[in-house]
RNA sequence: GCCCCCGUCGUCUAGAGGCCCAGGACGCCACCCUUUCAAGGUGGAGAUCGCGGGUUCGAAUCCCGCCGGGGGCACCA
């Protein structure tokens, strides 16, 4: 049997990280067994439909590299893959259930349902449909129809007995039928509910494994009942636990980024996010953390999936992203980081220059976007912006004249260097520290701020080498001028 | 109120009766390396395995009860 899994989002908003993990696990399962993974759009709620929803879902999958074999955009043997285009199928199936005495037409108005619910709540009873229309006589039915109300189709849930639902991860879960009610299958607008549409489609489309969020667990007996009524074999269900925020409530906007694509904006790498998400509720063994896609596919299976909810550990994701950045080939890092710099500078970046910088920043950034703060000074011309205090540092605080002397001496030696390789620059300047009676770091610190405008930068001399002679000396001159002004001012 | 799920270091997890007075990872602390920042290396703190009863020679692992957390109870998915 080939494994067929699917990701079936409803286009009601931004794809969530939790959704993406469900998609990832489904995708991994299909890929592991050499089966198919398909995309289905569950747009059966006209009220909550969001125009950009489908696009956003596909974009998030695409970003993470979760390729689908069949879907609304690429078609496939079970097209259409958009539920709003399959209304006739659901109507036929609802009809079948009615014919088989598994469903019935219900004429109750929303107002009446609301009243019933209120009364039940007042009596502290569970809110449930009171089955008012379950056994209407033909006359009553005609009367209701004459009133012109548009009926819904409800499932005729067995009044007693129990329904055993199976979940591969949790085993069998038993539900007493009397705790269930007659849920709606087809709404009065002709659209199906999830309870009908998803089961019909999963069966018709040959889904073998349904992975979904655990919020579906309470309604899983309904789905088993539907399969039973149709006489179909249900697929394997696996209810994945939730992803929680640091406060153990469900992950949401309050916890910062929860929308998958926000992570792209922040400079996370899809491979890192996939790796991280895979480890939320699944593990390879007792020690492996960094796992590439191939390995993930090779080892992923449901038997190591956990059912307990996982708190989203943002620091670990950040760390992992750093690992992936460090392991990335330079040219690919340049490709991915360029847009971040470009956006900041307001112009495209010089590729050759960027390639020179990559080795210097690679092990210092954990997010692509951090390259901006780390390396923007390589791309700017003109005066740097920084505080003279930063230039003086701890050593020369309050003594700009001494700093100026040091800077002059250093500049002199740099100017005398034949060539501009960092090794030469370093051996020209390093001895100076001792001669001046200051620590190496203290002298280098002044040069660092002068040349970059920052106190935390890539290695000083390699930075100078890339900056090239002219720009380095320009910046040193500017720094001397500032110190000059400062010391005159002090006197 | 009713129904369902879950419970190992702060967090992600390993663990399927003895290998565990519980292993790895992130984070944290210290030291080393060092021109800053990182990266890297070494070491450390950190879990009465939610609690209480059993079963067993022996339980994180099996059983029962309790507590705690989460989810669901729509003509939403």
Nucleotide nearest to A187 (CA to C1'): B75
Taking each continuous run of H as one helix and of E as one strand, the counts in chain A are 20, 11
Closest of A327, A312, A321 to residue A369, by C-alpha: A321
Nucleotide nearest to A430 (CA to C1'): B35
Phi-psi region for residue A402, left (φ > 0), alpha (ψ -120 to 50) or beta?
alpha
CB contact set of A184 (below 8 Å; sequence gap of 6+): A106, A152, A153, A154, A155, A193, A195
Sign of the CA dihedral running A139, A145, A149, A155: positive
Residue nearest to nucleotide B2 (CA to C1'): A126
Contact A137, A107 (CB under 8 A): no
User: What is the reported pTM?
Assistant: 0.95
Nucleotide nearest to A365 (CA to C1'): B38
Three-state SS at A448 = helix
Contact A45, A77 (CB under 8 A): no
Three-state SS at A430 = helix
Q: Distance (Å) from CA A285 to C1' B42? A: 25
Q: Distance (Å) from CA A306 to C1' B59? A: 21
* pLDDT tens digits, one per residue of A255-304: 777 899 999 999 999 999 999 999 999 999 999 999 999 999 999 999 99
Distance CA A13, CA A24 (A): 19
Distance CA A164, CA A82 (A): 30
**Which positions on strand B lie below 7 Å from a protein C-beta?**
1-8, 10-15, 23-27, 35-40, 69-77
CB contact set of A151 (below 8 Å; sequence gap of 6+): A105, A106, A107, A133, A144, A145, A188
Q: How confident is the model at residue A397 (pLDDT cuts 50, 70, 90)?
A: confident
Nucleotide nearest to A433 (CA to C1'): B35
Q: Say if residue A373's pLDDT is above 70.
A: yes
Q: Distance (Å) from CA A277 to C1' B11? A: 14
Q: What share of chain A is helix, strand, coil (3-state, %, to 5)?
A: 55, 10, 35
Residue nearest to nucleotide B6 (CA to C1'): A308
Residue A489's pLDDT is what? 64
% of chain A at pLDDT higher than 70: 99
CB contact set of A162 (below 8 Å; sequence gap of 6+): A174, A175, A176, A177
The ipTM, to two decimals, is 0.95
Transcribe A39-89 into DSSP letters: E-B----TTT--TTHHHHHHHHHHHHT---SBBTTTB-TT---BGGG-HHH
Q: Say if residue A15's pLDDT is above 80.
A: yes
* pLDDT tens digits, one per residue of A33-47: 999 999 999 999 988
The per-residue b/e assignment along A374-385, b for 16 or more CB within 10 angstroms, e otherwise, is bbebbbeeeeee
Q: Say if residue A221's pLDDT is above 70.
A: yes
CB contact set of A246 (below 8 Å; sequence gap of 6+): A255, A311, A312, A314
Nucleotide nearest to A290 (CA to C1'): B25
Give chain A's mean pLDDT: 94
Nucleotide nearest to A167 (CA to C1'): B5
Backbone angles phi, psi at A384, to 5 degrees: -85, 155
Residue A256's pLDDT is what? 76
Backbone angles phi, psi at A181, to 5 degrees: -120, -175
The mean per-residue pLDDT over the stretch A208-232 comes to 96
DSSP 8-state symbol, A179:
G
Distance CA A282, CA A242 (A): 13
Q: Distance (Å) from CA A216 to C1' B52? A: 33
The mean per-residue pLDDT over the stretch A231-250 comes to 91
% of chain A at pLDDT higher than 90: 86
Q: Distance (Å) from CA A308 to C1' B5? A: 9
Phi-psi region for residue A148, left (φ > 0), alpha (ψ -120 to 50) or beta?
left
Q: Distance (Å) from CA A242 to C1' B19? A: 34
Q: Distance (Å) from CA A397 to C1' B69? A: 54
Residue nearest to nucleotide B75 (CA to C1'): A187
Transcribe A282-345 into DSSP letters: B-SSSS-----HHHHHHH--GGGB--S-EE--HHHHHHHHHHHHHHS-HHHHHHHHHHHHHHHH
Q: Which residues of A are catalytic?
A: 253
The mean per-residue pLDDT over the stretch A99-125 comes to 92
Could you identify the residue written with the tokens 């939730």?
A242
Residue A251's pLDDT is what? 81
């Amino acid at each position: 049997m080939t494994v067929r899994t699917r990701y079936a989002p409803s286009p009601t908003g931004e794809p969530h990280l939790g959704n993406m993990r469900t998609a990832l696990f489904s995708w991994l399962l299909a890929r592991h067994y050499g089966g198919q993974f398909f995309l289905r759009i569950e747009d059966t709620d006209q009220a909550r439909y969001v125009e950009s929803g489908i696009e956003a879902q596909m974009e998030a999958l695409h970003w993470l590299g979760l390729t689908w074999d069949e879907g609304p955009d690429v078609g496939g043997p079970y097209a259409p893959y958009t539920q709003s285009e399959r209304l006739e199928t659901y109507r036929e199936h609802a009809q079948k259930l009615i014919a088989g005495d598994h469903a019935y037409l219900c004429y109750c108005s929303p107002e009446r349902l609301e009243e019933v619910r209120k009364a039940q709540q007042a009596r502290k009873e569970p809110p449930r449909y009171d089955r008012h229309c379950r056994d209407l006589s033909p006359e009553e039915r005609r009367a209701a129809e004459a009133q012109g109300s548009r009926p819904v189709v409800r499932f005729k849930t067995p009044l007693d007995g129990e329904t055993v639902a199976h979940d591969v991860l949790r085993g069998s879960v038993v539900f007493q039928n009397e705790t269930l009610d007659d849920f709606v299958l087809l709404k009065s607008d002709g659209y199906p509910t999830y309870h009908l549409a998803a089961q019909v489609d999963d069966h018709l489309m040959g889904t073998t494994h349904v992975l979904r969020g655990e919020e579906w667990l309470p309604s899983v007996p309904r789905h088993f009942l539907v399969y039973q009524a149709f006489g179909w074999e249900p697929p394997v269900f696996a209810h994945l636990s939730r992803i929680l925020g640091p406060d153990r409530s469900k992950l949401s906007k309050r916890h910062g980024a929860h929308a998958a694509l926000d992570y792209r904006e922040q400079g996370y790498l899809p491979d890192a996010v996939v790796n991280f998400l895979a480890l939320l509720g699944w593990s390879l063994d007792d020690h492996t953390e960094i796992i590439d896609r191939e390995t993930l596919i090779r080892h992923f299976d449901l038997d190591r999936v956990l059912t307990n909810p996982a708190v989203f550990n943002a620091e670990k994701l950040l760390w992992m992203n750093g690992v992936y950045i460090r392991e990335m080939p330079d040219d690919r890092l340049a490709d991915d980081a360029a847009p971040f710099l470009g956006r900041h500078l307001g112009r495209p970046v010089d590729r050759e220059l960027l390639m020179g910088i990559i080795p210097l920043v690679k092990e210092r950034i954990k997010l692509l976007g951090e390259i901006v703060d780390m390396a923007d000074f390589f791309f700017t011309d003109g005066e740097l912006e920084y505080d003279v205090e930063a230039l003086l540092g701890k050593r020369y605080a309050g003594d700009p004249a001494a700093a100026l002397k040091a800077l002059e001496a250093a500049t002199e030696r740099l100017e005398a260097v034949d060539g501009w390789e960092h090794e030469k620059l370093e051996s020209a300047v390093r001895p100076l520290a001792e001669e001046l009676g200051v620590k190496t770091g203290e002298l280098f610190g002044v040069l660092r701020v002068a040349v970059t405008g920052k106190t935390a930068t890539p290695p000083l001399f390699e930075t100078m080498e890339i900056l090239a002679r002219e720009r380095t000396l320009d910046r040193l001159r500017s720094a001397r001028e500032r110190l000059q002004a400062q010391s005159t001012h002090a006197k």
